[in-house]
Amino acid sequence: MIRLENVTKSYSTEVVALRDASFDVAKGEFVFLVGPSGSGKSTLLRMLNRQERPERGAVWVAGRNIIGMPPGRVPHLRRNIGNIFQDYKLLLEKSVFENVAFAQEVIGRPSHVIKQQVPAVLELVGLAGKEDRLPHQLSGGEQQRVSIARAFVNRPLILLADEPTGNLDPGTGEGIMRLLDRINKTGTTVVMATHDQRIVNTMRKRVIQLDRGVIVRDQARGVYE
Amino acid sequence: MLSRIRYTLRETFDSFRRNATLTVAAIITAAISLLGVGLTLLSQHAFDNLLARWEGGVEMIVFMRPQATAEQLQLVEDNLSEQSQFIAEFSYCDEQCSLDEADRVLAGEPGVRELLDENNITTQFKAIPTEGTDVELLRQLSGAFSELPSVFEVKFAEDQISLISQLQSFFGFRLLLLSGFLLLAAILLIWNTIRTAIFARRREIEVMKLVGATDWFIRIPFMLEGLLHGLIGAGVASLGLWVWNTQWTTGVQDFPPNSGFAALVVTDGYEVTVMLIMFAIGALAGAIGSGIAASKFLDV
Mean pLDDT lowest for which of A123-127, B60-64, B101-105, B133-137?
Answer: B133-137
- Smallest CA–CA separation between B292 and chain A, in Å? 18
Indicate the average pLDDT of chain B.
81
Instruction: Give the confidence band of B237 by pLDDT, cuts at 50, 70, 90.
Output: very high
End-to-end CA separation in angstroms for chain A: 26
pLDDT at B46: 81
pLDDT at A137: 95
Instruction: Give the confidence band of B258 by pLDDT, cuts at 50, 70, 90.
Output: low
| ipTM of the complex as predicted | 0.84
Q: Give the phi and the psi of residue A111 in degrees, each rounded to 5.
A: -65, -30
pLDDT at B257: 64
Determine the residue of chain A that is closest to B18 in CA distance.
A93
Least CB-CB distance to A75: which of B2, B3, B213?
Answer: B213
pLDDT 10s digits, B189-207: 777 777 777 787 788 888 8
pLDDT at B135: 67
Q: Where in chain A is the domain with CATH 3.40.50.300?
A: 1-80+158-225
Instruction: Give the confidence band of B290 by pLDDT, cuts at 50, 70, 90.
Output: confident
- Smallest CA–CA separation between A131 and chain B, in Å? 19
How much is the average pLDDT of B250-279?
Answer: 79
- CATH architecture observed for domain B59-156: 2-Layer Sandwich (3.30)
Name the more confident of B269 and B235: B235
Question: What does the domain layout of chain B look like in residue ranges?
Answer: 2-51+162-296, 59-156
Q: Does A36 touch chain B (CB under 8 A)?
A: no
Which residue stretches of chain A have pLDDT < 50? none
Determine the residue of chain B that is closest to A152 in CA distance.
B211
Residue window 123-162, chain A: list those with CB within 8 Å of chain B: 150, 154
Query: Is residue B168 within 8 Å of residue B52, measured between CB atoms?
Result: no
Q: Does B8 touch chain A (CB under 8 A)?
A: no
pLDDT 10s digits, A75-134: 999 999 999 999 999 988 889 999 999 899 888 888 899 999 999 999 999 999 999 999
Q: Does B4 touch chain A (CB under 8 A)?
A: yes
Mean pLDDT lowest for which of A130-134, B15-19, B206-210?
Answer: B15-19
Q: Which amino acid is at A2?
A: I
Cβ-defined contact of A89 to B209 (cutoff 8 Å): no
Share of chain B above pLDDT 70, in %: 90
CB contacts of B17 in chain A (<8 Å) are none
Residue window 163-222, chain B: list those with CB within 8 Å of chain A: 203-204, 206-215, 217-218
Share of chain A above pLDDT 70, in %: 100
pLDDT at B57: 67
- Smallest CA–CA separation between B22 and chain A, in Å? 21
Q: What is the CATH number of domain A1-80+158-225?
A: 3.40.50.300
- Smallest CA–CA separation between A135 and chain B, in Å? 14
Q: Does A27 touch chain B (CB under 8 A)?
A: no
Q: Does A78 touch chain B (CB under 8 A)?
A: yes
Q: Over 80: is that where the pLDDT of B75 sits? A: yes
- Smallest CA–CA separation between A77 and chain B, in Å? 7
Q: What number of other Cβ atoms are within 10 A of residue B83's Cβ?
A: 18
How much is the average pLDDT of B154-179?
Answer: 73
CB contacts of B204 in chain A (<8 Å) are 91
Q: Over 80: is that where the pLDDT of B178 sits? A: no
CB contacts of A77 in chain B (<8 Å) are 212
